[in-house]
Amino acid sequence: MSPQRRRRRVNVRRRRFIAVLVLFTVVVLSARALGANLPFMRSSTTSTSSSTSSTASTTPPTSTPPTSTATTSTPPPSTSTTPTSFAVGLTSLVITEPVTGSTTPRVFPVTVRYPAEGTPGLVQAGLAPYREAGPYPLLVFSGGFDLSPEIYAGLLDAWTSAGYVVASPNYPLTTPGPHAAVLRTDIVQHPGDLSYLITTLLAEDSSSEEILHGLVNSQEIGVVGQSDGGDVSLAAVANTCCRDPRIGAAVILSGAELSWFRGTYFTSGATPLLVAQGTKDLKFNPVPCSVTLYNEAPAPKYYLSLINQTHLSAYVPAGPARSVVATTTIDFFNAYLRHQPGALAAMSSAGTDSGLATITSASSVAPVKGACPLAPVPVG
């Protein structure tokens, strides 16, 4: 065979090989476009399924072979739109209690915060409620004597942003208002005011005409109080004079047992309790007040010691101490109102901050020298 004919035959063979290669490539690309599971694609499919399994580590292993739909290692996007924190809406109510006997009407305004639509961090009156994640637990906050509840706005907003409806009453005669003077002894009426407020808010929730409609979970109610407001909150959960069984958890911020309430403490029930106290609160609520009530309370209970904090320094101004209080109290309510797994562990972590705070659930904490003014006289 001449060299010329040999070169022609080689060129023919090359053209045939290239044609076959092109045809093979077209078939493969067409099969992939159609999602076919051809035998020569099996190794690729198996590799992709393995990649999918490695990215979905929370899915329990199964003996069922992966289906042909598992062709991507990218997990599907989440369909949940429930935010982890909320904007804060505000509304106001005027509470008028029924007159009994010869008593004068008790009338007082209340500000109610609720999870709202909008950018987290936004605080504004009249925002549309975020109803999709409701109903929410209810917290009633009672502030200190002769103090507007709004000075605690940082804490109130933090609780609401975490998914709570928060009501802060301006109790008659003990908060700044149109009355001529404040009268501290009116505090004995406040547990009754608090209970009537809860009843009113539950009625607002059941009315389709009210902004709070569908927002309040009647089975998840907590109270928080600071100073005299802590005394009120404690009486509402632990004193026979005033105990409201609807309340499922309580936080007492620098509060005390108070002899003005004509009942006895901790003789029935065991409402979960978180007691917080500043170690430098020496005048308004001395440390022995919180230590005594904590040691007398039944479990479950927790004592949050706020190192070098005074009567208001951990609750009013922004800063690390207030952040500890906000986070610890939210975790506490998440545990006992929402019954969230892991909330108590989170609370323990949040309440343990070197140089700032410690937390314990021991049956008692070490007694502190000194007395608690106006505390009930111990029996026996």
Is residue 101 located within the same domain as residue 201?
A: yes
Residue 156 burial class via C-beta count within 10 angstroms: exposed 0-12, middle 13-18, buried 19 and up = buried
Is residue 305 located within the same domain as residue 230?
A: yes
In this prediction, residue 330 carries a pLDDT of 98
Is residue 164 located within the same domain as residue 44?
A: no
* Whether 307 contacts 336, CB under 8 Å: no
Percent of the residues in the chain that have a pLDDT greater than 90, as a whole number: 69
* CA distance linking residue 252 with residue 303, whole number of Å: 10
16-25, 229-238, 287-296, 331-340 — which is least confidently predicted? 16-25
Q: What is the mean pLDDT of residues 296-317?
A: 98
150-167 tens-digit pLDDT? 999 999 999 999 999 999
Residue 140 has pLDDT above 60, yes or no: yes
Domain count of the fold of the chain: 2
Is residue 126 located within the same domain as residue 29?
A: no
Read off the CATH number of the domain in which 355 is found. Answer: 3.40.50.1820
In this prediction, residue 13 carries a pLDDT of 46
Residue 173 has pLDDT above 50, yes or no: yes
* CA distance linking residue 223 with residue 71, whole number of Å: 52
57-113 tens-digit pLDDT? 333 333 333 333 333 334 444 344 568 899 999 999 999 998 877 678 899 999 999
Greatest pairwise CA separation for the chain in angstroms: 132
Residue predicted with more confidence, 139 or 84: 139
- What average pLDDT does the chain have? 83
In a domain, 264, yes or no: yes
In a domain, 75, yes or no: no
* CA distance linking residue 38 with residue 36, whole number of Å: 6
Q: Which two tokens stand for residue 26?
A: 């077209």
Q: How many CA atoms lie within 13 A of 122 on its CB side?
A: 15
Is residue 201 located within the same domain as residue 133?
A: yes
Residue predicted with more confidence, 6 or 102: 102
Q: How far is CA 174 from CA 63, 145, 179, 182, 236, in A?
A: 68, 6, 10, 5, 17
Is residue 184 located within the same domain as residue 330?
A: yes
* CA distance linking residue 362 with residue 238, whole number of Å: 19
Is residue 189 located within the same domain as residue 96?
A: yes
In a domain, 210, yes or no: yes
Is residue 281 located within the same domain as residue 323?
A: yes
267-303 tens-digit pLDDT? 988 999 999 999 999 999 999 999 999 999 999 999 9
In a domain, 145, yes or no: yes
Q: What is the mean pLDDT of residues 140-148?
A: 96
Is residue 38 located within the same domain as residue 94?
A: no
Is residue 44 located within the same domain as residue 94?
A: no
Q: What band does 48 get if pLDDT is binned at 50, 70 and 90?
A: very low
Is residue 27 located within the same domain as residue 93?
A: no
pTM of this prediction exceeds 0.85: no
In a domain, 250, yes or no: yes
In this prediction, residue 177 carries a pLDDT of 76
User: In which residue are the tokens 């008790």 written?
Assistant: 106
In a domain, 344, yes or no: yes
Q: What band does 229 get if pLDDT is binned at 50, 70 and 90?
A: very high
In this prediction, residue 103 carries a pLDDT of 72
Is residue 160 located within the same domain as residue 229?
A: yes
In a domain, 372, yes or no: no
* CA distance linking residue 305 with residue 357, whole number of Å: 6
What domain range includes position 103?
87-360
In a domain, 79, yes or no: no
Q: Which helix (H) or strand (E) holds 138?
A: strand 136-142
* CA distance linking residue 98 with residue 198, whole number of Å: 14
